[in-house]
Structure 1
Amino acid sequence: MHYYREKGFWDEKVLPAKNDVIEKAEYKLGVEFPKEYIELLKESNGGTLYFNKIHIQSYGKCRIPYFLGIDLDGTEEEDSEGIFSYREELKKLTLPENIVLLGWETYPHSCFAMDYTNCTEKPTVVYFYEDYSEADVPYSKTIVASSFKDFSPLLFHQPYLRPSQLEPSY
Protein backbone atom coordinates (compact mmCIF):
# COMPACT_ATOMS: atom_id res chain seq x y z
CA MET A 1 0.00 0.00 0.00
CA HIS A 2 1.41 3.40 -1.02
CA TYR A 3 0.09 6.73 0.28
CA TYR A 4 0.00 9.94 -1.73
CA ARG A 5 2.98 12.18 -0.94
CA GLU A 6 2.63 15.03 -3.48
CA LYS A 7 3.81 13.00 -6.50
CA GLY A 8 1.99 10.81 -8.98
CA PHE A 9 -1.56 11.79 -7.98
CA TRP A 10 -3.12 11.22 -11.41
CA ASP A 11 -3.39 7.89 -13.21
CA GLU A 12 -4.76 9.52 -16.36
CA LYS A 13 -4.54 13.26 -16.92
CA VAL A 14 -6.38 15.72 -19.13
CA LEU A 15 -5.37 19.27 -20.02
CA PRO A 16 -4.66 21.41 -16.96
CA ALA A 17 -7.14 24.03 -15.73
CA LYS A 18 -6.08 27.60 -16.44
CA ASN A 19 -6.04 30.29 -13.74
CA ASP A 20 -8.97 32.19 -15.28
CA VAL A 21 -11.14 29.05 -15.36
CA ILE A 22 -10.37 28.33 -11.70
CA GLU A 23 -11.10 31.94 -10.71
CA LYS A 24 -14.40 31.96 -12.67
CA ALA A 25 -15.47 28.71 -10.99
CA GLU A 26 -14.69 30.12 -7.53
CA TYR A 27 -16.62 33.30 -8.36
CA LYS A 28 -19.60 31.35 -9.76
CA LEU A 29 -19.73 29.19 -6.63
CA GLY A 30 -18.91 32.01 -4.19
CA VAL A 31 -16.10 30.03 -2.57
CA GLU A 32 -12.32 29.88 -2.42
CA PHE A 33 -10.76 26.56 -3.42
CA PRO A 34 -7.99 25.14 -1.22
CA LYS A 35 -4.48 25.80 -2.53
CA GLU A 36 -3.73 22.06 -2.73
CA TYR A 37 -6.86 21.44 -4.83
CA ILE A 38 -5.90 24.26 -7.22
CA GLU A 39 -2.41 22.78 -7.61
CA LEU A 40 -3.93 19.44 -8.65
CA LEU A 41 -6.30 21.17 -11.12
CA LYS A 42 -3.29 22.92 -12.65
CA GLU A 43 -1.75 19.50 -13.30
CA SER A 44 -4.97 18.05 -14.74
CA ASN A 45 -8.50 19.46 -14.87
CA GLY A 46 -9.95 16.25 -13.46
CA GLY A 47 -9.08 12.69 -14.39
CA THR A 48 -8.61 9.24 -12.93
CA LEU A 49 -6.63 8.90 -9.73
CA TYR A 50 -3.64 6.68 -9.09
CA PHE A 51 -4.18 7.07 -5.34
CA ASN A 52 -7.82 6.06 -5.46
CA LYS A 53 -8.60 4.47 -2.12
CA ILE A 54 -9.19 5.85 1.34
CA HIS A 55 -10.06 4.33 4.69
CA ILE A 56 -12.94 6.12 6.39
CA GLN A 57 -13.12 5.41 10.12
CA SER A 58 -16.86 4.82 10.36
CA TYR A 59 -17.34 3.24 6.94
CA GLY A 60 -14.24 1.24 5.97
CA LYS A 61 -12.25 1.22 2.73
CA CYS A 62 -13.78 3.41 0.01
CA ARG A 63 -12.78 4.18 -3.55
CA ILE A 64 -12.60 7.52 -5.32
CA PRO A 65 -11.75 6.56 -8.88
CA TYR A 66 -11.58 10.07 -10.35
CA PHE A 67 -11.84 13.79 -9.63
CA LEU A 68 -14.24 15.90 -11.63
CA GLY A 69 -12.74 18.86 -13.42
CA ILE A 70 -14.14 22.35 -13.90
CA ASP A 71 -16.75 22.62 -16.65
CA LEU A 72 -17.95 26.20 -16.47
CA ASP A 73 -20.87 25.71 -18.85
CA GLY A 74 -22.21 22.72 -16.89
CA THR A 75 -23.08 20.62 -19.92
CA GLU A 76 -23.73 16.97 -19.35
CA GLU A 77 -21.83 15.73 -22.37
CA GLU A 78 -19.53 12.87 -21.51
CA ASP A 79 -16.35 14.71 -22.45
CA SER A 80 -17.18 17.82 -20.40
CA GLU A 81 -18.39 16.21 -17.18
CA GLY A 82 -17.32 18.25 -14.20
CA ILE A 83 -18.32 19.97 -11.00
CA PHE A 84 -21.01 22.10 -12.67
CA SER A 85 -22.55 19.16 -14.58
CA TYR A 86 -24.05 17.86 -11.34
CA ARG A 87 -25.39 21.08 -9.77
CA GLU A 88 -29.03 20.31 -10.67
CA GLU A 89 -28.58 16.63 -9.92
CA LEU A 90 -27.36 17.41 -6.38
CA LYS A 91 -30.64 19.23 -5.69
CA LYS A 92 -32.70 16.28 -6.97
CA LEU A 93 -30.70 13.91 -4.80
CA THR A 94 -31.21 16.22 -1.79
CA LEU A 95 -27.50 16.71 -1.27
CA PRO A 96 -26.50 20.12 0.14
CA GLU A 97 -26.11 22.93 -2.37
CA ASN A 98 -22.96 24.32 -0.73
CA ILE A 99 -20.69 21.47 -1.72
CA VAL A 100 -18.17 21.05 -4.52
CA LEU A 101 -18.34 17.51 -5.77
CA LEU A 102 -14.93 15.86 -6.07
CA GLY A 103 -16.16 12.57 -7.51
CA TRP A 104 -18.61 9.72 -7.18
CA GLU A 105 -17.63 6.44 -5.60
CA THR A 106 -20.76 4.90 -7.11
CA TYR A 107 -23.28 7.18 -8.80
CA PRO A 108 -25.72 8.16 -7.23
CA HIS A 109 -25.13 6.17 -4.06
CA SER A 110 -21.97 7.71 -2.61
CA CYS A 111 -19.63 10.61 -3.33
CA PHE A 112 -16.80 12.74 -2.00
CA ALA A 113 -17.13 16.52 -1.79
CA MET A 114 -15.68 19.66 -0.29
CA ASP A 115 -18.29 20.98 2.15
CA TYR A 116 -18.75 24.76 2.17
CA THR A 117 -21.97 24.63 4.23
CA ASN A 118 -20.56 26.75 7.06
CA CYS A 119 -17.81 28.63 5.21
CA THR A 120 -16.60 30.10 1.92
CA GLU A 121 -13.00 28.94 2.31
CA LYS A 122 -11.17 26.05 3.97
CA PRO A 123 -13.89 23.41 3.50
CA THR A 124 -13.97 20.03 5.14
CA VAL A 125 -13.86 16.98 2.88
CA VAL A 126 -16.88 14.77 3.36
CA TYR A 127 -18.25 11.45 2.18
CA PHE A 128 -21.97 11.23 1.43
CA TYR A 129 -23.61 7.82 1.24
CA GLU A 130 -27.17 6.64 0.90
CA ASP A 131 -28.69 5.90 4.26
CA TYR A 132 -31.37 3.25 4.04
CA SER A 133 -31.95 3.18 7.80
CA GLU A 134 -34.07 6.36 7.83
CA ALA A 135 -36.72 7.13 5.20
CA ASP A 136 -36.55 10.90 5.59
CA VAL A 137 -32.72 11.10 5.48
CA PRO A 138 -31.62 9.90 2.04
CA TYR A 139 -27.90 10.62 2.56
CA SER A 140 -25.68 10.52 5.59
CA LYS A 141 -22.46 12.49 5.81
CA THR A 142 -19.13 11.56 7.31
CA ILE A 143 -16.30 14.05 7.66
CA VAL A 144 -13.25 12.47 6.05
CA ALA A 145 -10.77 15.28 6.73
CA SER A 146 -10.88 18.75 8.27
CA SER A 147 -9.25 20.20 5.13
CA PHE A 148 -8.25 19.26 1.60
CA LYS A 149 -4.62 19.46 2.72
CA ASP A 150 -5.37 16.77 5.33
CA PHE A 151 -7.45 14.73 2.85
CA SER A 152 -4.96 14.09 0.06
CA PRO A 153 -2.32 12.27 2.21
CA LEU A 154 -5.06 9.82 3.30
CA LEU A 155 -5.42 8.57 -0.28
CA PHE A 156 -3.54 5.40 -1.10
CA HIS A 157 -2.84 3.02 -3.95
CA GLN A 158 -3.20 -0.67 -3.38
CA PRO A 159 -1.56 -2.70 -6.14
CA TYR A 160 -3.50 -5.55 -7.64
CA LEU A 161 -2.25 -9.04 -6.95
CA ARG A 162 -1.75 -11.09 -10.08
CA PRO A 163 -2.63 -14.79 -9.81
CA SER A 164 0.99 -15.62 -10.71
CA GLN A 165 2.08 -13.85 -7.49
CA LEU A 166 0.01 -16.15 -5.30
CA GLU A 167 1.63 -19.14 -3.72
CA PRO A 168 -0.48 -22.26 -3.47
CA SER A 169 -1.15 -23.61 -0.01
CA TYR A 170 -1.50 -27.34 0.22
Structure 2
Amino acid sequence: MSMEFYKQTGFWKKSTQYKPGEPLTNEKLIKVEEHLGRQLPASYVTLMKAQNGGELKHRYVLFEDGEAAIIPYFYEVDLDHGIGLTPVFIEECGLPEGLVLLTGDLHSWLALDYRKSKDPSVVYISEDESESGLWEEYPLALTFSEFTARLFRKEG
Protein backbone atom coordinates (compact mmCIF):
# COMPACT_ATOMS: atom_id res chain seq x y z
CA MET A 1 0.00 0.00 0.00
CA SER A 2 1.27 3.47 -0.85
CA MET A 3 0.13 6.96 0.09
CA GLU A 4 -0.79 9.67 -2.40
CA PHE A 5 -0.63 13.11 -0.79
CA TYR A 6 -2.90 15.98 -1.77
CA LYS A 7 -1.16 18.24 -4.30
CA GLN A 8 -3.57 21.18 -4.67
CA THR A 9 -5.91 19.44 -7.14
CA GLY A 10 -8.74 16.98 -6.68
CA PHE A 11 -9.63 17.91 -3.09
CA TRP A 12 -13.28 16.84 -3.16
CA LYS A 13 -14.49 13.30 -3.79
CA LYS A 14 -16.78 13.35 -6.84
CA SER A 15 -19.24 10.59 -5.91
CA THR A 16 -20.32 11.40 -2.37
CA GLN A 17 -22.88 10.48 0.27
CA TYR A 18 -22.29 13.68 2.28
CA LYS A 19 -24.01 16.31 0.19
CA PRO A 20 -22.32 19.73 -0.04
CA GLY A 21 -24.14 22.83 1.16
CA GLU A 22 -25.43 25.60 -1.06
CA PRO A 23 -22.64 27.41 -2.93
CA LEU A 24 -20.62 29.71 -0.68
CA THR A 25 -21.16 33.38 -1.54
CA ASN A 26 -19.15 36.32 -0.24
CA GLU A 27 -22.26 37.51 1.62
CA LYS A 28 -22.70 34.16 3.38
CA LEU A 29 -18.98 34.01 4.19
CA ILE A 30 -19.08 37.45 5.83
CA LYS A 31 -22.13 36.49 7.92
CA VAL A 32 -20.54 33.23 9.10
CA GLU A 33 -17.23 34.93 9.94
CA GLU A 34 -19.09 37.62 11.91
CA HIS A 35 -21.10 34.94 13.73
CA LEU A 36 -17.93 33.02 14.65
CA GLY A 37 -15.91 36.17 15.37
CA ARG A 38 -13.10 34.80 13.24
CA GLN A 39 -11.69 35.33 9.75
CA LEU A 40 -11.37 31.98 8.01
CA PRO A 41 -8.06 31.14 6.26
CA ALA A 42 -7.97 32.10 2.56
CA SER A 43 -6.90 28.60 1.48
CA TYR A 44 -9.90 27.10 3.34
CA VAL A 45 -12.28 29.65 1.80
CA THR A 46 -10.96 28.85 -1.70
CA LEU A 47 -11.75 25.15 -1.23
CA MET A 48 -15.17 25.90 0.21
CA LYS A 49 -16.04 28.25 -2.68
CA ALA A 50 -15.18 25.44 -5.10
CA GLN A 51 -17.57 23.15 -3.19
CA ASN A 52 -19.21 24.06 0.11
CA GLY A 53 -18.40 20.96 2.15
CA GLY A 54 -18.50 17.29 1.31
CA GLU A 55 -16.31 14.21 1.28
CA LEU A 56 -12.56 14.54 0.91
CA LYS A 57 -10.70 12.59 -1.76
CA HIS A 58 -7.56 12.52 0.41
CA ARG A 59 -9.17 11.57 3.72
CA TYR A 60 -6.30 10.54 6.00
CA VAL A 61 -3.84 12.58 8.02
CA LEU A 62 -0.81 11.36 9.96
CA PHE A 63 -0.12 12.25 13.57
CA GLU A 64 3.42 12.82 14.80
CA ASP A 65 3.56 9.24 16.18
CA GLY A 66 2.75 7.70 12.78
CA GLU A 67 -0.89 6.90 13.57
CA ALA A 68 -3.50 8.19 11.12
CA ALA A 69 -6.95 9.70 11.51
CA ILE A 70 -9.76 9.67 8.99
CA ILE A 71 -11.15 13.06 7.98
CA PRO A 72 -14.09 11.86 5.87
CA TYR A 73 -15.73 15.21 5.11
CA PHE A 74 -15.86 18.92 5.89
CA TYR A 75 -18.97 20.65 7.13
CA GLU A 76 -20.37 23.38 4.91
CA VAL A 77 -19.85 27.07 5.67
CA ASP A 78 -23.33 28.11 6.78
CA LEU A 79 -24.95 29.88 9.73
CA ASP A 80 -27.62 27.28 10.46
CA HIS A 81 -25.60 24.17 9.55
CA GLY A 82 -21.99 23.13 9.41
CA ILE A 83 -19.36 25.38 10.96
CA GLY A 84 -22.02 27.88 12.03
CA LEU A 85 -22.98 25.40 14.76
CA THR A 86 -19.49 25.59 16.31
CA PRO A 87 -20.63 27.60 19.38
CA VAL A 88 -23.40 25.07 20.07
CA PHE A 89 -21.04 22.09 19.91
CA ILE A 90 -18.35 23.85 21.97
CA GLU A 91 -20.85 24.44 24.75
CA GLU A 92 -22.60 21.07 24.46
CA CYS A 93 -19.39 19.02 24.37
CA GLY A 94 -17.29 21.12 26.75
CA LEU A 95 -14.72 21.90 24.06
CA PRO A 96 -12.22 24.75 24.47
CA GLU A 97 -13.29 28.22 23.35
CA GLY A 98 -11.43 29.65 20.34
CA LEU A 99 -12.04 26.76 17.93
CA VAL A 100 -13.92 26.59 14.64
CA LEU A 101 -15.07 23.02 14.05
CA LEU A 102 -14.49 21.82 10.47
CA THR A 103 -15.87 18.32 11.03
CA GLY A 104 -16.62 15.95 13.85
CA ASP A 105 -18.89 13.33 15.36
CA LEU A 106 -19.25 14.38 19.04
CA HIS A 107 -16.32 12.07 19.95
CA SER A 108 -13.59 13.62 17.80
CA TRP A 109 -13.20 16.92 15.97
CA LEU A 110 -11.00 18.61 13.40
CA ALA A 111 -10.76 22.30 14.15
CA LEU A 112 -9.14 25.57 13.28
CA ASP A 113 -7.49 26.71 16.53
CA TYR A 114 -7.55 30.48 17.13
CA ARG A 115 -6.55 30.32 20.82
CA LYS A 116 -2.97 31.55 20.24
CA SER A 117 -3.30 33.60 17.05
CA LYS A 118 -5.74 35.17 14.62
CA ASP A 119 -4.02 32.94 12.04
CA PRO A 120 -5.26 29.52 13.14
CA SER A 121 -3.41 26.27 13.43
CA VAL A 122 -5.20 22.96 12.82
CA VAL A 123 -5.86 20.57 15.68
CA TYR A 124 -7.50 17.17 16.08
CA ILE A 125 -9.41 16.72 19.34
CA SER A 126 -10.73 13.43 20.66
CA GLU A 127 -12.37 12.20 23.83
CA ASP A 128 -10.00 11.06 26.52
CA GLU A 129 -10.15 7.26 26.67
CA SER A 130 -10.64 7.38 30.45
CA GLU A 131 -14.17 8.70 29.85
CA SER A 132 -13.42 11.58 32.19
CA GLY A 133 -15.12 14.11 29.93
CA LEU A 134 -11.74 15.57 29.03
CA TRP A 135 -10.41 16.07 25.53
CA GLU A 136 -7.01 15.11 24.13
CA GLU A 137 -5.52 17.49 21.58
CA TYR A 138 -3.21 16.60 18.72
CA PRO A 139 -1.64 19.51 16.81
CA LEU A 140 -1.65 18.72 13.08
CA ALA A 141 -0.34 21.82 11.32
CA LEU A 142 0.55 25.46 11.90
CA THR A 143 -1.65 26.57 8.97
CA PHE A 144 -4.60 25.22 7.02
CA SER A 145 -2.45 25.02 3.85
CA GLU A 146 0.13 22.95 5.73
CA PHE A 147 -2.68 20.69 6.95
CA THR A 148 -4.06 20.03 3.45
CA ALA A 149 -0.54 19.17 2.22
CA ARG A 150 -0.46 16.41 4.87
CA LEU A 151 -3.74 14.82 3.70
CA PHE A 152 -3.34 11.57 1.78
CA ARG A 153 -5.24 8.67 0.34
CA LYS A 154 -4.26 5.02 0.32
CA GLU A 155 -3.46 3.35 -2.97
CA GLY A 156 -3.05 -0.25 -3.86
Q: Using structure 1 for the length normalisation, give the TM-score.
A: 0.80
Identical aligned residues as a percent: 35
Distance 2:123 2:149 in 1: 15
Deviation at 1:59, TM superposition (A): 6.6
Distance 1:123 1:142 in 2: 14
Task: Name the SS for the 2:123 alignment partner.
Answer: strand
Task: Name the SS for the 1:71 alignment partner.
Answer: coil
Structure of higher CA gyration radius: 1
Distance 2:91 2:65 in 1: 26
Distance 2:57 2:123 in 1: 20
Distance 2:137 2:129 in 1: 13
Distance 1:43 1:57 in 2: 30
Unaligned runs of at least 5 residues, structure 2: none
- Equivalent residue for 1:118, pick from 98, 106, 116: 116
Q: Considering only aligned residues, what root-mean-square deviation do their CA atoms show, in Å?
A: 1.8
- Equivalent residue for 1:109, pick from 100, 104, 107: 107
**Does 2:134 match 1:138?**
yes
Q: Using structure 2 for the length normalisation, give the TM-score.
A: 0.87
- Corresponding residue for 1:52? 59
- Corresponding residue for 1:71? 78
- Corresponding residue for 1:99? 99
Q: How many residues are treated as equivalent by the alignment?
A: 149
Deviation at 1:113, TM superposition (A): 0.4
**Does 2:153 match 1:151?**
no
Letter in 1 for 2:87: R
Higher relative contact order (CA 8 A, sep 6+): 2
